[in-house]
Amino acid sequence: MWRRVLLCLGSVALGVEGLAQRAVDVVRPEERQKTQQAIVKKEEKRAQQTSVIEFRGQQAFKEKELRSQLKEEITTVEEYGLSPARADDLAFFLEVFYRKHGYAKVNVHYVIESQNRVRLDITEGPLMTLSKVIFDGNIKEPTDKLFEYVVGPTRERYSKLQKNLPFVAADMEEGANLVHRLYVAEGFLDSVVDPPRYVFHEQSNQVDVIIPIHEGRQYFFGITSFSGRTIYDSETLRGQMSDLLQQPYTDARVADIPRRIEAYYKARGYYDVKVDATAAPDEAVNGQVPVNVVISAGPVYHFDGVTVNGLDRLHPSYVIKRFSRLEGKTYSPDVLDERFRTLMKTGLFNILQIKPVRVDGHLLRLDISAEEAKSKEFGFSIGYGTYEGGIVGAQFRDRDLFGYGRPLTTSIEVSQRGYKGEILYEDPFFLDTDFAFKARLAAIRFDFDGYSKFDLGGRVELTRKITKQDEAGLIFSVRHVKIIDADIKPKFLGDQNYFVNTLGFTNTLDMRESPFVTPRGFLVNNTLDLASSAFGSDIEFIRGTIRTGYYLPFGPKPLTPGVVEDKPGTPLQRWFQQSWIGFGARAGIIHSLTVSGPEEATAIPIDERFFNGGSDTVRSFGERDLGPHDHRDHPLGGEFFTVFNVEYTFPIFGELQGAIFTDAGNLLPTSEEPGLDDMRYAIGAGLRYKLPVGPIRLDYGVNPDPHPQEDFGAFHFSFGFAF
């Protein structure tokens, strides 16, 4: 998790403002004078046009706002002249504007005073507010639910917290139509919702709205039969749309049946499948509507060859090899979609179109058209993190190294605590297999509390997707670490100049639907690595970490395309639907494989130990501040740690969110006795601002039981999810 905030990212551009100014300077004086005179005449004409229309009687709105609302009509008058018809348009649309804001009794009268001047006399009348909505005849649908549909069009223009909504007749009519659509979506095919009636209360300037409702019978799906060349049995086919058949009957759900069935057949190679579903509401018995589904499966198709066009820099073989192993296999749109998404994630393409084309023998050739994206980019970043302070960075990336689609990235980052330089080479299809390869070289100079280090090394990763959600990999790392300055005593530092070479295994099961925006689902990640003299390492240890997370939004999952769902719910329900709760747990242990005497320095160097506290662990402590300290209050780290997090996030306004959280965790100095001893806690709140790549976070965690010399709490300003 990043511990900083990315504030801006851009590219260097050449300014042209100065060039334009120099071009003006070479204009001759007489031409400049003519230009200035033309500007003056244009301004005078604009001032005259502004005075074409005069407003009288307005109190609720400023003249500037009224002119803005009539902008198109005023422009027409200015361009084509004033006429009674255009003056009537001005008065009509001004009344519409007033009624839209609750002035139901507004009257606007126009007076043409001269050939190019019109006066709009406004009698605003009182501001009418909505008193109550009375539904006459609803039995199956609750009044509170129907009320939200009726006031929905008005509420869209006002705060969700505003109680007294203005009365807008047009909105009430639209709301009544939404109520009727709701009834139809709930299977009330014969329902009738009459136009609203209004009762005006002159003394209170409030309006009661009465909406008569005739619900009628509610219809459901009855017997569903299948005919034609079905291949599969009825129970199997019915299972593909069981969720639809359990809902009330609607024409929209009937129309969704062919899409469901066709998707099932096409996933099994029936490229030409045709499905037609017909229903007979007139033949319904006790509200059960029979449905007949006619299927023409056609033959099973198989993949054939691949053609590619539109590539200039990238070698066509890069694309062809991604599909060559499909040749001869049964056609599957899911497989094509997976290949498509994999290629688009590389960033090499602006457009990528894959079109199956029939060839002889029930084969499908894949014709691929591509438009390449820019392969080279340069960017810089400016940010801030609570621990690192100010951060600036620069990056150069070539996504298409030598035309083979292998990215190479070089970057440098400087903060108030140090610097980092890195070169990263990636091969997403290592040796044209499903393995992904990464090679990284990095140099780091960083000042921690109590010591500073210089770290130089490399790391290679070889990973493979086992399933769409499960990924496993091997990692080999070679590092040289040198402690270049320290206020901590050597016996607490351990080795201060050493090579550490590790071989590790990692596995990640990520069931989240949107890791960067609103995560939903389950995540498990674990690593195990070994440092051994067999790999040339000066120190020997075994280290393991595990991370789990479960993210549960309160809102429903995204709707299946084609399914009609029209249930906005109450404001409180919608508020909860945009909220989510997350649970996280982490633990780690590192154990030395070297036996050291009681008088020797610790066998695990300080830079290999775990630290706790900070923006993504226990947030009542500063970064790395939880756990053992020396006599100068410098953190020393430990060999075993745990972190537990619970966070509830809720909407505030727009992309701004609030959060309340509680954290717990510990850090023990030795791996000999791991456990939950000396647990520390945090209770806090924070703000989130959602970005496409993750949230900006501001948190404050309170320490409910501070030990001597510990702070009451800590602020954290950071980027990304806390866990």
Band of the pLDDT at 518, cuts 50, 70, 90? Answer: low
Beta partners for residue 357, in sequence order: 365
* Residue 306: CA count within 13 A, CB half-sphere: 19
Where do the DSSP E strands lie in 3-64? 5-10, 53-56
Q: Give the integer Cα–Cα distance in Å for 261 and 159.
A: 43
Per-residue pLDDT tens digits for 118-158: 999 999 999 999 999 999 999 999 999 999 999 999 988 88
Q: Give the integer Cα–Cα distance in Å for 634 and 13.
A: 45
Q: Give the integer Cα–Cα distance in Å for 152 and 130.
A: 13
Give the strand pairing for 541-553 and 580-592.
Answer: antiparallel
Per-residue pLDDT tens digits for 616-629: 999 999 999 999 99
Q: What is the pLDDT of residue 490?
A: 92
Q: Give the integer Cα–Cα distance in Å for 77 and 88.
A: 11
This prediction's pTM: 0.73
CB 7, CB 689: distance < 8 Å: no
In the chain, pLDDT over 90 holds for what percent of residues?
A: 79
Q: What is the pLDDT of residue 572?
A: 55
Burial class from Cβ neighbours inside 10 Å (0-12, 13-18, 19+) for residue 664 reads middle
Q: What is the pLDDT of residue 497?
A: 97
Band of the pLDDT at 558, cuts 50, 70, 90? Answer: very low
Per-residue pLDDT tens digits for 346-358: 999 999 999 999 9
Q: What is the pLDDT of residue 601?
A: 54
Per-residue pLDDT tens digits for 413-455: 999 999 999 999 999 999 989 899 999 999 999 999 999 999 9
Band of the pLDDT at 314, cuts 50, 70, 90? Answer: very high
Q: What is the pLDDT of residue 396?
A: 97
Q: What is the pLDDT of residue 7?
A: 34
Over 50: is that where the pLDDT of 6 sits?
Answer: no
Band of the pLDDT at 24, cuts 50, 70, 90? Answer: very low
Per DSSP, 330 falls in state: B
Torsion of CA 285, 291, 292, 298, to 10 degrees: -170
Band of the pLDDT at 512, cuts 50, 70, 90? Answer: confident
Find tokens 């001047």 and name the residue. Answer: 117
The angle formed by the CA atoms of residues 444, 448 and 451, to the nearest 5 degrees, is: 95
- 220-296: CATH superfamily: membrane protein fhac (3.10.20.310)
Over 80: is that where the pLDDT of 569 sits?
Answer: no
Nearest to 545 by CA among 493, 612, 446: 612
CB 289, CB 220: distance < 8 Å: yes
Burial class from Cβ neighbours inside 10 Å (0-12, 13-18, 19+) for residue 658 reads middle
Per-residue pLDDT tens digits for 653-705: 888 999 999 999 999 999 998 999 999 999 999 999 988 778 999 999 999 99
In the chain, pLDDT over 70 holds for what percent of residues?
A: 88
Q: Give the integer Cα–Cα distance in Å for 304 and 55.
A: 73
- Which residues, in sequence order, are CB contacts of 39 under 8 Å at separation 6+? none
Nearest to 496 by CA among 541, 453, 450, 533: 453
Average pLDDT over residues 44-72: 81
Backbone angles phi, psi at 623, to 5 degrees: -60, 125
Over 70: is that where the pLDDT of 78 sits?
Answer: yes
Per DSSP, 635 falls in state: B
Q: What is the pLDDT of residue 684?
A: 97
Instruction: Select the more confidently predicted residue: 21 or 472.
Output: 472
Average pLDDT, the chain: 89
Give long-range contacts, CB 8 A cutoff, 24+ apart: 646-654.
Answer: 646/581, 646/582, 646/583, 646/584, 647/581, 647/582, 647/584, 647/722, 647/723, 648/579, 648/580, 648/581, 649/579, 649/580, 649/581, 649/582, 649/688, 650/575, 650/578, 650/579, 651/575, 651/578, 651/579, 652/687
Q: For the domain made up of 129-214, give the CATH fold.
A: Ubiquitin-like (UB roll) (3.10.20)
Q: For the domain made up of 302-372, give the CATH fold.
A: Ubiquitin-like (UB roll) (3.10.20)
Q: What is the pLDDT of residue 653?
A: 87
* Residue 457: CA count within 13 A, CB half-sphere: 17
Band of the pLDDT at 8, cuts 50, 70, 90? Answer: very low
Domains 129-214 and 428-558+570-719 share a fold: no
Q: Give the integer Cα–Cα distance in Å for 370 and 322.
A: 14
Rounded to the nearest 10 degrees, the angle between the axes of helix 169-185 and helix 84-100 is 60
Q: What is the pLDDT of residue 596?
A: 58
H-only helix segments in 222-378 = 234-239, 242-245, 251-266, 316-323, 333-345
CB neighbours of residue 577 within 10 Å: 15
The angle formed by the CA atoms of residues 40, 46 and 48, to the nearest 5 degrees, is: 105
For the chain, the domains span 51-123, 129-214, 220-296, 302-372, 428-558+570-719
CATH architecture of 428-558+570-719: Beta Barrel (2.40)
Question: Does domain 51-123 sit in CATH 3.10.20.310?
Answer: yes
Over 90: is that where the pLDDT of 264 sits?
Answer: yes
CB 75, CB 93: distance < 8 Å: no
